[in-house]
A and B are shown apart, each in its own frame.
Chain A
Amino acid sequence: MIELDVSLPLSRFPLRVQAALPSDTVAVLGPSGSGKTSLLETIAGLRPRAAGRVAIRGEAVMDTARGLRPPPERRRIGYVPQDSLLFPHLDVEENVRFGMARGAATRLFDEAVRILEIEPLLRQYPATLSGGERQRVALARALATEPRLLLLDEPLAGVDAALRGRILPYLLRIRESLAIPFLYVTHNAGEARAVAESALVLRRGAVVHAGAPEESIAAPSRDDPEARFDNVLAGMLSAGEPGAAGVFVVHGQRFAVPAERAGAPGPALYAVAPDDVLVSTRPLAGVSARNVLRGRVRSVEEAGGTAWIRIGAGGFDWTARLTRGALEELGLTPGLDVWLAVKTHAFRRLR
């Protein structure tokens, strides 16, 4: 449970966020410049002009009406900013150890290094790291301080940005093994859905949606041209035959995935872009796509010239993006039975 009731004057508009989020894992969505970073900095205590109350699991982090306004060093909040802000004069290990109290358990350090897989980077300096590596080191550095809340501000990843640099798989691991509450700023509503139980959507400093991330997909997209809605699937990868496609199993449903990344069997995470999900109102036959599923339309939302279709199929809620024309031609409405087709190479491995 994360309670937010804060205000902060900004140059373009005032930030005014009031939301009681029922879960400990929150995705923060919204277009660039909607106040997401300012919200995180307010919670971290880096905005002296901010006022209001923030509570995590009922424990107040700040409550200015009651005179509770602790400096950042006493908040125990792990902040991972967009640009990572690693200390350039320290190597990775020194960066991660920066916030650890002297004599703190080495377990904290070891755990952070293990979860973020930064062991091979420990002797390097930040200038030599890739963007994704920097984010991982910054997240490890935050984790090593044993924070009561993590704040993650993921940089906007272009459409072509390397998926493997994404922080999402590591965030899932943190959720699984450490259960630290977090606020995760992302432009990818699909990732938000995969990792967070609540979503907070901001627009011009105000809350336009607070609640379950699947309730609305159009809300974050309406004015965020960078918004993405990848279908993120977590499952098990079994070793395929050499040269053939890999087999990825989610909730008993088998998917054919590209062989080249399928070398290591075990838990895996794949993303499928909503543009790569084909929708048909008739049973599909004679298509080259290897993955065909039967499902039912759950919701249809329109934003601009685009239609977002939510389809339940194979135990998963898929998001497909269609043009408005295609939507009308197919006559898709909630409750309608449909067939989905996804090409093998539309599955991109995240972990």
Chain B
Amino acid sequence: MTAQPDLSIFLLTLRVAALATLFILPLGVAAAWYLARLGGPWRTALETLLSLPLVLPPTAVGLLLLELLRRNGALGRLLDRAGIEVLFTWKAVVLATAVMSFPLLVRPARTAFEEIDPRLLAMGRSLGGRPFTVFRRVALPLSWRGVAAGTLLAFSRALGEFGATIMIAGNIPGRTQTMALAIFQRTHIGEDAAALRLVAITVVVAFAVVGASEVLGRRRERRFAA
């Protein structure tokens, strides 16, 4: 049996999830900020679109990504010309987990931004702050808990992504095999005990991350309370 050691699977998973989260953090915060300030039918349309990965079967999302990234797909052609290989590499794992985690980051961040009094932001402008300055010095400090909670949620989702990953990255030990994929594989070949060891690790990690996210989401900074 050439099974990968638990630790190296865990580290690969951690690295991939961290990269995916870092990748979607600026995009997700920007999207959340934009959505929080957008009104009308466009907002509903955009929000629905961004939430699709939450409700679609992950394999469906994976298949869509596969179509995009195929050598003659819309994105695949560009990447091929640039000499970048994505499919069935660790980059594909990052991409799949990023897409699947994105809505989980955007939602709490958007809610946090919406809770800010828009007049407070207007005040920042009136005091000479340009829009980005006001975002950095007023909006972010007032909503960082929501943004952090969303980031942790997205990270925990990234740790456990399975369906989209297996579609575009396969299940290659040492290259694209994350915890979720390894559990599947070990169970498949009858190594239930080894699979359960991985399950135990994921439970501990998920508990810590989701717990931290909950705490951040709930507790308000005391000094703000009147």
The interface of chain A, by Cβ under 8 A from chain B, is 44-46, 71-73, 75-77, 79, 81, 85, 87-89, 98-99, 101, 125, 127, 141-142, 145
Contact = CB atoms under 8 A, between A and B. Distances in A.
A73 B119 contact: no
B123 A85 contact: yes
Contact of B127 (A89, A99, A127): A99
Given A98-B137, A127-B224, A85 B120 contact: yes
Contact of A81 (B119, B137, B138, B142): B119
A99 B128 contact: yes
A101 B128 contact: yes
A268 B126 CA distance: 34
B125 A81 contact: no
Contacts of B117: 85
B223 interface: yes
A141 B117 CA distance: 19
B116 to A, nearest CB: 10
Contacts of A87: 120, 123-124, 138
Question: Interface centre among A45, A72, A141, by most B CB within 10 Å?
Answer: A72
Interface of B: 117, 119-120, 122-130, 137-138, 141-142, 221, 223-226
Contacts of A81: 119, 123
Given A81-B119, A98-B127, 19 more contacts: A44-B126, A45-B125, A45-B126, A46-B122, A46-B125, A72-B122, A72-B126, A73-B128, A73-B130, A85-B123, A87-B120, A87-B123, A89-B224, A98-B124, A101-B128, A125-B224, A127-B226, A142-B127, A145-B128
B119 to A, nearest CB: 6
A98 B121 CA distance: 12
Given A81-B119, A81-B123, A89 B141 contact: yes
Given A72-B122, A85-B120, A89-B141, A141 B224 contact: no
Q: Which 5 A-B pairs have the closest CB atoms?
A: A99-B127, A72-B125, A85-B123, A72-B126, A89-B141
Nearest to B144: A89
A77 B126 CA distance: 7
A73 B126 contact: yes
Nearest to B134: A73
Contacts of A46: 122, 125-126
Contacts of A125: 223-224
A127 B224 CA distance: 6
Contacts of A77: 126
A73 B127 CA distance: 6
Given A72-B122, A87-B138, A89-B142, A145 B224 contact: no
Nearest to A77: B126
Contacts of B224: 88-89, 125, 127
7 contacts: A87-B138, A89-B138, A98-B137, A101-B128, A127-B226, A141-B127, A142-B127
A139 B65 CA distance: 55
A15 B124 CA distance: 25
A200 B119 CA distance: 25
Contacts of A141: 127
Question: Interface centre among B117, B120, B122, by most A CB within 10 Å?
Answer: B122
Nearest to A45: B126
B224 to A, nearest CB: 5
B129 A99 contact: yes
A46 B223 CA distance: 29
Contacts of B126: 44-46, 72-73, 75, 77, 79
B82 to A, nearest CB: 39
A71 B125 contact: yes
Contacts of B141: 89
Given A79-B123, A81-B123, A98-B124, A73 B223 contact: no
Contacts of A89: 138, 141-142, 221, 224
B223 A127 contact: yes
Contacts of B120: 85, 87
Contacts of B128: 73, 76, 99, 101, 145
B133 to A, nearest CB: 8
A46 B225 CA distance: 27
A73 B142 contact: no
Nearest to B117: A85
B125 A85 contact: no
Nearest to A88: B224
Nearest to B130: A73
Nearest to B222: A127
A44 B122 CA distance: 10
Contacts of A142: 127
B151 to A, nearest CB: 19
A76 to B, nearest CB: 8
B189 to A, nearest CB: 54
B123 A73 contact: no
A114 B205 CA distance: 54
Nearest to B226: A127
Contacts of A98: 124, 127, 129, 137
